[in-house]
Amino acid sequence: MTTSVLIVGSGPTGLTLALELARRDVPVRVVDKSRAFPRSSRAKGPNQRTLEVLEDLGVVHEVMDAGRAPVPMRKYRDGLAVADADPYAGRRPTPDVPYDRGRLLAQWKLEEVLRDRLAAHGVHVELGVEIDSYEETATSVVARTPDGREIEARHLVGCDGGHSRIRTLMGATFEGETHEEQRMVNGDVALTGAHGLSRDHWHQWFDEDGAVMLCPIPGTSDLWWFQAGPETAADGTPVPPSRESFQRLFDRHARIPGVTVTDAALLSTYRVNVRMADRYRTGRVLLAGDAAHVHPIAGGLGMNTGIQDAYNLGWKLAAVVTDAADAALLDTYQEERLPVAAWTLDTSSRRLDAVMAAIRKPGGGLDAGITDVTSGLGIGYRWSSLAPPTTLDTAVRPGDRAPDAPCTPLRLFEAFAGPHFTLLAFGEAAARALGEAPDAVRTYAVDAGPHSDLADRRGHARAAYGIQGDALVLIRPDNHIALIVDPAQADAVRNYLHALREPSGVPA
């Protein structure tokens, strides 16, 4: 049976992409070579921009309920607490930014939330299905499993992680470097006798000869994320992670008697990799998430960048397979997201340098890796061919993230929610131009007197967009600004959408 899109990999990136497609009624299959859903807690949760994505996908309330706000970081030296730090202290939601901080949440729990929502659309992950080859034809991709089964799809997307088989088959290079000297052991641990360790803190012991970090896993009473510099054997080689090695590391650095590591699961050794694919698309095959880029964990950008890859790709892929856009639109996925990956590699490397410098001093810790730039809120695509310049003097520009604002009866994010373009008409003259908008676009007159659909009584919407007079603002399905024009140029909206159907794939 042929499907429209085959997604290989059922982590957060693959699930987000599948949900983006399923809510648009695009036939999609998700396969994963694992025989059971992993209980991986690797990523520690969504950042602020990803929470906005999850709101659009309709699952943010489940995520907020399952997780918790980031906890303050307690730093130790020589076994003694020397400082507490809360990198989000003093932050509050604002009218244009509803989420002032991310959410602590085990990756397996986020995947469970996404799978449940995907199942509501009738799509279920197919476990134990490995893709080891594919053949592209003029109209489809035929993927094959090791036992000879075939799955035919119009498009194939590799969301299968840093060791991506799809990336290898595609012939994309994975350029960059691996820092073998920068290693970390990880696992989920259960502790007994740890009553003195507050579960309202992320504990971080840094010494001259190593470090141990314990962060409470939300939704559990005794489980912690464990991270540490590895033990070194007599011959200088790193000791593989185990419950016993974790116990020795904890005893050495925490120096708290009576605490026992009773269980250690999901053990892994992390090496700092800084790599990205040279391309995200070859014909009908695409890459997203760790299959396209890997980088230091400092700043927590890994899972979040993958989810935001999928958010960018989802509406474009859906438009192509439903014949609402030419296949050339898929080229803008690489055009927009590859520079973001390069920025992410650079930013996370800089944040890692900042953390390594900070932990050499008493009171330094992982909070050095968290800054405003790691929120994801500043990521936009002003360079994109989908972002034609505007002649209006506005605070935001085409390609930027579209801000939220509390209007009546809806917030702007509530107006944007769903798989559609949204057209905001600021002012009465702009509202009169809404009659010329294409039927596929959802329209709202904002601050337009008696013609208003959304009342901007406190001026938050105008302030967020920096609009003084009348203007039309077209918002893409991924909640980035497509177009800002004067109402006299209302035909530009129709022309923009029409251009997506052309072989150029982009507005003129």
The pair of structure tokens assigned to 286 is: 């695409």
Going across the sheet that includes 481-485, the strands are: 441-446, 421-426, 471-475, 481-485
What's the pLDDT score for residue 336?
A: 97
Alpha-carbon gap, residue 82 to 204, rounded angstroms: 10
Which pLDDT score, from 0 to 100, does residue 20 have? 98
pTM: 0.95
Rounded Cα distance between 477 and 457, Å, is: 26
What is the structure's pLDDT at 174? Answer: 93
pLDDT tens readout for residues 422-436: 999 999 999 999 987
Calculate the dihedral angle through the C-alpha atoms of 174, 175, 180, 185, rounding to the nearest 10 degrees: -40
pLDDT of residue 273: 81
Q: What is the model's pLDDT at position 502?
A: 84
- Distance in angstroms (rounded) separating the CA atoms of residues 417 and 402: 12
pLDDT at 375: 92
Q: What is the mean pLDDT of each run of 10 residues along the chain (508 residues)?
A: 93 97 98 89 88 98 96 94 93 96 94 98 98 96 96 98 96 87 87 92 92 93 91 87 94 94 88 90 97 84 93 98 95 96 87 84 86 92 96 96 98 97 96 85 94 95 96 98 95 93 73
**pLDDT in the model for residue 353:** 83
84 burial type by CB count under 10 A (0-12 exposed, 13-18 middle, 19+ buried): middle
Name every residue whose Cβ is closer than 8 Å to that of residue 381 and which is 6 or more positions away in sequence. 336, 387, 399, 480
Domains present along the chain, CATH in parentheses: 2-68+102-176+274-346 (3.50.50.60), 178-272 (3.30.70.2450), 380-508 (3.40.30.120)
